[in-house]
Structure 1
Amino acid sequence: MEKHYSVAIYPPENIIAHIKTMKEQLATNIGWFNSKNSVAHITICEFKVMEKELEKIKLRLFKIADSFTSFQVHLNHFNAYENGAFFIAPNEDSKLNLKPILKKTQEALQLSNLKKSNDPHISIGRRLTPENLKIASQLFTSIDIDFLCNSIVLREFDPIKKQFFVIGTFAFNGNNQPELIQGSLF
């Protein structure tokens, strides 16, 4: 059976809890909105594959994550997209460190149906009306969050709860494996 999966970066629990409080505060002001109940994360990609393909995916994620080195992420401002997404954005240094993680992970999966993210951020709300975007930007004016990015997670979509849940965590170990070069014995 084909299932829906996502690869993401999770901040630590205390930041997830803080962002959940922000989402609840926004909901108090505007009512329910898309991604209200979503756990805070930075999306790398989404895809659908048959369950039997999952072990290959996990192995690819393990290998690519094993090659990454941990780094600090600094989220320091809010922004919005024209499609109604209101989000927390990283500073330029963090964005420069996150983008290769997104790109290399996407490439490592070798999937043709990949829905890629190329602008790292943590969504507060999605598909907000212009009025609700304005309310969000008035409610949340400053932010200053730091965390150590030291892993990626694989998540599976629960069609009943309409949420993703983590099914695997892949640690950054800084193991830059040299490419195999075929040489001659003689």
Structure 2
Amino acid sequence: MQNLYSIAISPPDDVISSVKHMKEDLNKEVGWFNSKNSKAHITINEFKSSELQLENIKKQLTYICNGFEPVSVRMNSFGSYNNGAFYIAPDNCSKMCLKAIMKHLNNSLCIEEKKTSNDPHMSIARRLSPQALGKAKEMFNEVDFRFMCDHVVIRQFNPDIKQFEIIERFPFNNKPSYSRGTLF
């Protein structure tokens, strides 16, 4: 049996709490929306996997993340996509760093079929109507979250609550792997 998983960047609890309050405030104004109950995160990819395949993916993640250096992230603006998504965006420097992490993970992980993201953002809402999106833009105009991106997580989709839940964290240890030449 295959389960649905996601690899993501998970911000600290204070950011998760702040985004939750934003979602609750928007819900009061426009009613329920997609992503309303999703905890704040930056999606790197989504994939289906068996338990056995997942163990191999975890080993790959441990190896790759071991070489990553933690990066300082600042998310300080709002944005939207044509599909009705409203999100918090990183500043240009953070965006470059996050994109590099996302690209490296997506290119390095041996996962047969995955949906990848290459635009780092933290969704507040998805599939908003044009009117609800306009309301979101009116309500939210200032944000400034700063945190260290020092790990990624694997999240498993829980069909009972229809949300992803973190099942494991993979720290960035800033220990580059050995090149083949240095082992001999």
TM-score by length of 1: 0.96
Cα deviation 1:106-128 (Å, max 9, x = unaligned): 12221231100000000000000
Deviation, 1:181, is: 2.7
Where in structure 1 are there 5+ consecutive unaligned residues? none
Identity fraction in percent: 46
Return closer, same or farther for 1:182/1:73 CA change in 2, 3 Å cut-off: closer
In the TM superposition, 1:24-35 aligns within 5 A as 24-35=24-35
In the aligned structure 2, how far is the partner of 1:123 from the partner of 1:40? 7
Name the amino acid aligned to 1:108.
S
* Superposition pairs of residues 86-97 of structure 1, within 5 angstroms: 86-97=86-97
Query: Could you say which residue in structure 1 is the equivalent of 2:42?
Result: 42
Structure 1 segments (4+ residues) deviating >3 Å: none
Size of the aligned set, in residue pairs, is 184
TM-score normalised by structure 2 residue count: 0.97
Match of 2:145 in 1: 145
- Tell me the distance in 2 between the aligned counterparts of 1:178 and 1:107: 19
Report what 1:22 is aligned to: 22
Any idea what the Cα deviations from partners look like across 1:67-107, whole Å, max 9, x if unmatched? 10011100010000001100000000000100111011112
Query: How big is each residue's C-alpha offset from its partner over 1:14-59, in whole Å with a ceiling of 9 and x where there is no partner?
Result: 1100000000000000010000000000000000011221110100
- Describe how 1:10-159 pairs up with structure 2 within 5 A: 10-159=10-159
Unaligned segments of structure 2, at least 5 residues: none
Superposition RMSD on alpha carbons, in Å? 1.3
